[in-house]
Structure 1
Amino acid sequence: MRVLLMLMLVLLVAGTASAKEIDRVKIEPQVTVNAETLQLNGSGIRKKFFFKVYVGSLYSVRRLTSGPEALRDTGDKLIRMNFVISKVEKEKIVDAFQEGFNSNTPELADSAEVKKFLSLITEDFKRGDQVDLFLGGDGTVTGKLNGKLLGTLVSRPLATAILAIYVGEHPADASLKKGLLGK
């Protein structure tokens, strides 16, 4: 009987261990995109000047533990941002992405692909908003805001450049990078 109770306790704990929450944002252990299941690779909080901006999560086909490994990986990925700050103006969002491109992929920073991607951001992000950036292994980049399609582009260099903003050599937030890589 004790063995049975212990087994039930272990199963109960294992069943709840996959549920994760950061700053009152529930982090899904997996997501399905285009009929493919992606597993949570890691998550963390993006901070700017001591303000919590969003809870970021990286989902991938396989476990990724380093920036170079993630950037080389040709599997599908999803970057999810759940905003916890009251509001971030559209211009600041565009500037932050542009800075990330300048820091990590300067050769693409002024490209037509980057300009087209930045043009998808047409409104401010506010507390409770969920932004998904799907980065397909085939180079498809799809942006969604609260489930509403912002747009789709196809460019493998752009998909890699977006990922580099988060896990590249010069990430927007080093602590978030560690979290996304599961550290």
Structure 2
Amino acid sequence: MKKILLAALALIGTYSATAQQTINGVNVEKSITVEGQELELNGAGLREKLWFDLYVGALYVTTRSSDGNTLVAANMPMAITLDITDEAVTQEKMKSSVEDGFGDSCTSKQQKAIQSEINTFIGFFKDAIVKGDHFEIAYLPAKGTLVSKNGTALGTITGLKFKKGLFGIWLGDDPADEDLKAGMLNK
């Protein structure tokens, strides 16, 4: 009887370790692979504004942490995924939100130093954004920040300074959404 109970507990433990998390109808994977680099889910949450559930954001890392500033500054592989869950998220609103986000994430001097990279990043949102779109923003130290939409590469931006400003939008001291930040940091 004891062996059966232990086997059942082991099976349940295996299932829960590989099970997906679902937020607002989006299945959040426990891990993702970016160019051969395995990343584990650190946490996930919902970006809300007024009465709109805009997108589900998830943070993937090699070393889990609940310290946003440490993760923003870290020169280690990590990724943020954004799954659009509302038609209120449009191409123009995304561009505007990114501009505002960098303004909140960086000092004006820091933003000026990476403005060219910010412009390139905003240029990645040239096509319409619709409910169900999946964005992956991954940082790999040897390559930079790789951006894809629905599995199609949009481009790469080199530099740790840009990565810090970008990831600071969600994980910094003045994030886009406090509840989303807490979810991504698994708090």
TM-superposed deviation, 1:139: 6.2
The RMSD of aligned alpha carbons is 1.4
Q: Are 2:155 and 1:156 equivalent residues in the alignment? A: no
Paired residue for 2:109, among 107, 110, 132? 107
Deviations, residues 17-39 of structure 1 (Å, cap 9, x unaligned): 23211122111111111111011
Q: Against the structure 1 CA distance between its residues 177 and 139, is the aligned structure 2 distance closer, same or farther, given a 3 Å change threshold? A: farther
Q: Secondary structure at the match of 1:4?
A: helix
Amino acid at match of 2:55: Y
Q: Against the structure 1 CA distance between its residues 109 and 94, is the aligned structure 2 distance closer, same or farther, given a 3 Å change threshold? A: farther
In 2, the alpha carbon distance for the partners of 1:16 and 1:86 equals 34
- Map of 2:7 onto structure 1: 8
8 Å Cα contact 2:133-2:149 kept in structure 1: yes
Amino acid at match of 2:15: T
- Map of 2:66 onto structure 1: 65
Which ranges in structure 2 are unaligned for 5 or more consecutive residues? none
Which ranges in structure 1 are unaligned for 5 or more consecutive residues? none
Moved over 6 A (4+): none
Q: Secondary structure at the match of 2:109?
A: coil
Higher mean alpha-carbon deviation, 130-139 vs 92-101, is at: 130-139
State how many pairs are aligned. Answer: 182
8 Å Cα contact 1:77-1:135 kept in structure 2: yes
What is the TM-score normalised by the length of structure 1? 0.93
In 2, the alpha carbon distance for the partners of 1:107 and 1:45 equals 31
Higher mean alpha-carbon deviation, 161-170 vs 129-138, is at: 129-138
